[in-house]
Amino acid sequence: MKTNDVILQTTTKIVLFIILIFSVFIFFTGHYTPGGGFIGGLLTSGAIVLLLLAFDLKTVKKILPFNYMYMIAAGLLFSIGTGAGAMLFNVPFLTHAYTHIDIPILGELSLHTATIFDLGVFLVVVGVTMTIIQTIGGDE
C-alpha cells in the first residue's frame, strides 16, 4: 500500500529551508566562531538527505539536477585555485589575503580569500556525502 506523505512533504518544504539558511550561517561564521566549510557542507547535505527521505531519488534528481562528481571537482579547483593564486603575487603557496570594502546598503564587509578555500571544502563535503548516499540508495 502506498502511504500518503503529504504531512512529511509539506513540513520538509519549510524545515529544509531553515536548515539550509542555518548551514549558510554556520559556513559564514566559521572565521570568528565555531563553524566553517566542513560542518556547513554536512548540514547542507543533511538537508538534501531530508529531501531524499520525504521524496524519492528520482524527484530529488529532478529538483537538483547536479552531478555531484562535478561538484567535488569544482570544490577541489576552488581550493587549489586560492592556494595557487597566492603564487601569482610572489608569496608562498596558500598565503591568504584579506581586505575591507564598503558596499552602500550592506555596510562594511571584510573579505578574506580563506572563504573561497572554505567554499571549496563546502562543495567537496556536499559532493562526497551526496555521492555516497545516492550510490548506496540507488538500485540501478
Partner 1 sequence: MAFQILLNVFLGFMWMVMTVSFEPAVFLKGYLLGLLIIYIFRNLFTSRFYLLRIVAVLKLTYIFIRELISSNIAVVKTVLKPKLDMQPGIFAYPTILEKNWEITLLANLITLTPGTLVIEVSSDNKILYVHALDINDAQESIDSIKDTFEKAILEVGR
Q: Which residues contact partner 1 by CB under 8 A?
A: 13-14, 16-18, 20-22, 24-25, 29, 51, 62-65, 105-107
- The grid coordinates listed for 132 are 555516497
The residue count for the chain: 140
In contact, 71 and 125? CB cutoff 8 Å: no
Alpha carbons 14 and 87: distance in angstroms, whole number: 44
Query: Closer CB to partner 1, residue 54 or residue 72?
Result: 54
What's the closest the beta carbon of residue 29 comes to partner 1, in angstroms?
8
Query: CA-CA distance, 1 to 115, in Å (whole number)?
Result: 48
In angstroms, what is the minimal distance from the CB of 138 to partner 1?
Answer: 19
Report the SS3 class of residue 100.
Answer: strand
Cβ proximity to partner 1: between 1 and 106 the closer is 106
Min separation Cβ 43 and partner 1, Å: 12
Q: Which of residues 39 and 94 has its CB atom nearest to partner 1 in the complex?
A: 39
